[in-house]
Amino acid sequence: MGTIRRIGDDYYIEFDARGLKYQRNGGKDKKAAARLLKEIEDKIQKGEMSIVVCDVKASDFFKNFLEFIKNDNDPRTSARYESVVQHFQGFIQTELSPVCQLSQITPSVIEGYRAVLLKSTGKTGRTVKPKIINFTFYLLRDIFDHAINFGHINDNPTLHTQLIEISDQNVPQTLSDKDVQKLLKDSSGSIKNISELLLRTGMRFGELTGLKWTNVDFKNNCLKIEVLPDDPRRRRQVPMDNEVLSIISRLHDQKDARCEYVFINVAGERSEINSYSMQCVFQNTFAKNMLEKGISLVGLHKVLGFRDIARVMRYEGFTKNS
């Protein structure tokens, strides 16, 4: 069944078809939006799939997108997206029109935007740094992926545009496969378990040592990370691969029923580990491995739980220019 939700002054209907989620502006009347949703669901049931091809005005899509991400991101990350959207909208309103359709934003339009960014200057009058331009395109890629997921377009126009190669990037320190093997071989007990879990999940020391058994979801194979003070936008779930699941299951079989924490010291209390430098190396190693497996920088931001999405740009040196 589809849903109806209000964004600003309008009601939007959301529904699933062909394995994708679609969204359409249903206007300012909730009853009219409900009727439109019913019509679409009836057509989907009858196999009339053409109804779900729903191009939209670019301005409507961008407005909806910004409302959408506010519910799922820290204000700093939302502000990053908003800045990119506002600048890009200013460009397409000049190049196309204020009422252009989203489908009119083609790869050639994106190339034109890239050319403008390369010539533009910031508030200081200096040319915009290549890293900022690349960051802009990483966010634009995610924005247009969102448009694909909602069935507005079939192809991401930003994927055809080359990022700027940056030769002098400072690549964060990581552990090689050989280093990891030696580390795990030379350690034992809780230290070995903690080290392997950090390398396989990207969690921070405090998150892992503060993990409670109530945060372990064996049904969905994930670890639920909570933060203090509690903020729903910062909660996240870390998937457990087979190795992580094996370690957590073994610890569960050995756990002290009187203690709520997964990792405890000899006194039966929560373990404490303080080594910021090692935490960074573990997290950097995890990030490098994830990027090599194909996750995007934006996706990595979600997995690591960064409040400000700009922090993932430290890992751009691990990605291949595309």
DSSP character at residue 264: B
Q: Can you give the pLDDT at residue 322?
A: 41
Any residues with CB less than 8 A from the CB of 164 and at least 6 apart, and which?
118, 130, 133, 134
**Cα Rg of the chain, angstroms:** 23
Q: pLDDT tens digits for the chain (322 residues)? A: 688 887 666 787 877 765 656 666 677 788 888 988 888 888 777 776 554 557 889 999 999 999 999 888 889 999 999 999 999 999 999 999 988 999 899 999 999 999 999 998 766 667 888 999 999 999 999 999 999 878 788 778 998 888 998 876 788 999 999 999 999 999 888 889 999 999 999 999 888 888 999 999 999 999 999 776 566 666 788 999 999 999 999 999 988 777 888 988 766 677 776 666 688 999 999 999 999 988 999 999 989 989 899 999 999 988 864 4
Taking the domains of the chain in order of start, what are their residue ranges?
3-52, 58-160, 177-318
The per-type count for the chain, helices as H runs and strands as E runs, is 11, 6
Instruction: Please tell me the distance from the alpha carbon of residue 277 to that of residue 136, in angstroms, as a whole number.
Output: 29
* Residue 90: both structure tokens together: 């200013």
Asked if the domains 58-160 and 177-318 are classified in one and the same CATH topology, the answer is no
Strand-pairing partners, residue 6, are: 11
Strand-pairing partners, residue 222, are: 217, 239
Q: What is the CATH code of the structural domain delimited by 177-318? A: 1.10.443.10
Instruction: Please tell me the distance from the alpha carbon of residue 244 to that of residue 228, in angstroms, as a whole number.
Output: 25
Task: Find out whether 162 and 141 touch, Cβ atoms under 8 Å.
Answer: no
DSSP character at residue 73: S
Q: Can you give the pLDDT at residue 321?
A: 42
User: pLDDT tens digits, residue range 99-137?
Assistant: 899 989 999 999 999 999 999 876 666 788 899 999 999
Q: Can you give the pLDDT at residue 243?
A: 94
Q: Can you give the pLDDT at residue 51?
A: 47
pTM of the model: 0.77
Measured between alpha carbons, how far is residue 205 from residues 39, 97, 184, 197, 271 in Å? 52, 50, 17, 10, 10
Q: Does domain 58-160 have CATH number 1.10.3470?
A: no
Sign, Cα dihedral of 239, 244, 248, 250: positive
User: pLDDT tens digits, residue range 276-318?
Assistant: 668 899 999 999 999 998 899 999 998 998 989 999 999 998 8
